[in-house]
Amino acid sequence: MSEMISAATGKRKNAIARVQLSLGTGTIMVNGRKADEYFPREALQIDLRRPLEMTGSTERFDIKATVTGGGVAGQAGAVRHGIARALEKNDPNQRATLKREGMLTRDPRRKERKKYGQKGARARFQFSKR
């Protein structure tokens, strides 16, 4: 395996991904498995590769990611965010391209917490006039 050239952290919802970028042939490994195995849905695989395709570095870098927390879609988004940040760290000229497509922005959506004395996050107890 070649030497790591850039590392970054990507986040989405409750998922956190540590991404390492190294010169190579375009292999993407997530938690020790190939990205195609780890994310079986086609949409997630396409989403994962978008930062690489936009910067024209699909076959130039090997990516090793470690992801924890969240669900499958959140983890894929976290890895994508991490890849974009690592690419930008490696070559600051790519920032404009990645920023324009929203790759460098963390998706802040989370599950809203349940409020005390109530049924749920938004659900209230039914009002009774009498």
pLDDT single digits (tens) 46-86: 999 999 888 888 888 999 999 999 899 999 999 999 999 99
Q: Which pLDDT belongs to residue 111?
A: 84
Distance CA 69, CA 92 (A): 29
Torsion angle of the four alpha carbons 8, 11, 16, 20, in this order, in degrees rounded to the nearest 10:
-20
Q: In the predicted model, what is the mean pLDDT of the chain?
A: 89
Q: What is the pLDDT of residue 124?
A: 84
**What's the predicted TM-score (pTM) here?**
0.85
Tell me: pLDDT of 1 over 70. Answer: no
pLDDT of residue 2: 65
Q: DSSP for 24-81?
A: SSS-EEETTEEHHHHS-SHHHHHHHHHHHHHHT-TTTEEEEEEEESS-HHHHHHHHHH
Sole residue written with tokens 């952290």:
9
CATH of 4-100, one of 2.60.40.3950, 2.40.50.140, 3.10.580.10, 3.30.230.10: 3.30.230.10
At 106, the pLDDT band (50, 70, 90 cuts) reads confident
Is the Cβ–Cβ distance between 95 and 26 less than 8 Å? no
Structure tokens at 81: 């965010």
Q: What is the mean pLDDT of residues 74-102?
A: 91
